[in-house]
Structure 1
Amino acid sequence: MCDKDMDAFLPQLSTTDTKQKLVIGNELLAYLQNGSSIECSDIGLVVDSLIPWIHSSNFKVSQMGLDLMTELAVRMGTYFKPYIPTVLPAVVDRLGDSKELVRERCQLLLQALMEHGALTPQQLFERLNPAAFCHKNSNVRDEVLRCLSSTLNQHGAGCVSISKLVPSLIKLLSDPNSLVRDTALSTFLNIYRHVGDRLRNDLIKKHNVPPPK
């Protein structure tokens, strides 16, 4: 394994054998985490080859694909930007996964994209709103709320234009799913901690939310 480079991994990423995927995935993950060179003939092809992994119905393969993509995002930093339109829809889709571990890996990847400069928090939520907030899968709606809260905690209130998200958040207070309703309420409480009465005034004046509510 020590004499491998990124070009040697590339043809192996297209294997359809699940066991092989996990073996290759572990090797590539160790390679990336060791700080080995990520220079290769086509890094975009590496990213594209990992998208089917993320979409895999086998949660271990999906999880591995997300781990590998996170490492690439960390290593590539701002150079990961061109791949956001390809990667983000796959990550949003997996936010709806029934396995909590897969959803956690999605959150880690989203945070890595922001922390390492592939996109700003504002850019992320412009892409997520409104589609992810009204996604048919309740796990996606719940996880995007959690992502907003952790982003505010990590990057501060000024990192995202909250006022643009408020209409989507208000709708989720009446979501059919009780878990989403609870998460929406706790998200509002977290936003209030960050911005104070400005949020309350916004809700009353701009969105006609009754003061008692």
Structure 2
Amino acid sequence: MAQPQMDVFLAQMGTTDTRKKLSLGTDIINYLGNPDNTIECDDIGHFIDSTVPWLTNSNFKTVSRLIPHIVKLLSDPTATVRDCAFNTLVECYKHYGDRLRIDLTKKYNLPAARVPPLMTRFDEVRDTGLMMTTASAAGMEG
């Protein structure tokens, strides 16, 4: 059986070549944008956890294009996927700060039940000093 495409993407995230990263970002976005494609992989949690550090390494344009897909996963029927999407947004917040909060409330249709816990978690991250230096120095482009 062929290796799931998400696992192929995960293996390619280790590259340090910026052009390859941007190309990979486009490939991932195009793949996730097609509803016929599956997000099946050996460990979706590992894929999502690996995406945040990968994005913060010179891929600011890419992150703003991935956010809609992550937001969509907040409504996934599988609780594990919803939790991973929630945690991914929290990790993104650590890196991008209130710009992400503003974008989420203005640009995206978050599930109403997820907004209060997500904003509360953002506040906890900010108040406990878990923010990265990139949260104030860099924003999301989009």
TM superposition score normalised by structure 2: 0.64
Letter of the 1:38 counterpart: I
Please tell me whether the aligned partners of residues 32 and 69 of structure 2 are also in contact (alpha carbons under 8 angstroms). Answer: yes
SS of 1:114's equivalent in the other structure is coil
Please tell me whether the aligned partners of residues 13 and 21 of structure 1 are also in contact (alpha carbons under 8 angstroms). Answer: yes
Please tell me whether the aligned partners of residues 7 and 41 of structure 2 are also in contact (alpha carbons under 8 angstroms). Answer: yes
After TM superposition, the structure 1 = structure 2 runs for residues 1-213 of structure 1, keeping only pairs within 5 Å, are: 5-35=5-35, 36-56=37-57, 58=58, 61-75=59-73, 77-78=75-76, 79-82=81-84, 84-85=86-87, 87-95=89-97, 103=99, 107-108=103-104, 112=108, 114-115=110-111, 120-129=114-123, 132=126
Distance in 2 between residues matched to 1:130 and 1:76, nearest whole Å: 20
Q: How many residues align?
A: 126
Aligned-residue offset at 1:114: 3.0
More helix by share: 1
Structure with bigger gyration radius: 1
Distance in 1 between residues matched to 2:38 and 2:100, nearest whole Å: 27
Distance in 1 between residues matched to 2:12 and 2:38, nearest whole Å: 18
Deviation track 1:148-193 (CA, whole Å, cap 9, x = no partner) reads xxxxxxxxxxxxxxxxxxxxxxxxxxxxxxxxxxxxxxxxxxxxxx
Distance in 2 between residues matched to 1:109 and 1:43, nearest whole Å: 26
Larger relative contact order (Cα-Cα within 8 Å, sequence gap ≥ 6) = 2
Distance in 2 between residues matched to 1:126 and 1:105, nearest whole Å: 11
Please tell me whether the aligned partners of residues 9 and 28 of structure 1 are also in contact (alpha carbons under 8 angstroms). Answer: yes
CA-based RMSD of the aligned residues comes to 3.7
In structure 2, relative to structure 1, the CA distance for the partners of 1:104 and 1:76 (3 Å cut) is closer
Letter of the 1:77 counterpart: S
Distance in 2 between residues matched to 1:31 and 1:131, nearest whole Å: 31
Deviation track 1:33-58 (CA, whole Å, cap 9, x = no partner) reads 011111111111211121113322x3
The corresponding residue for 1:180 is none
TM superposition score normalised by structure 1: 0.46
Aligned-residue offset at 1:19: 0.7
Q: Share of identical aligned residues, percent?
A: 25
Instruction: Note the residue ranges of structure 1 that are not aligned, 5 or more in a row.
Output: 97-102, 144-213
Instruction: Note the residue ranges of structure 2 that are not aligned, 5 or more in a row.
Output: none
Please tell me whether the aligned partners of residues 50 and 65 of structure 1 are also in contact (alpha carbons under 8 angstroms). Answer: no
Please tell me whether the aligned partners of residues 63 and 105 of structure 1 are also in contact (alpha carbons under 8 angstroms). Answer: no
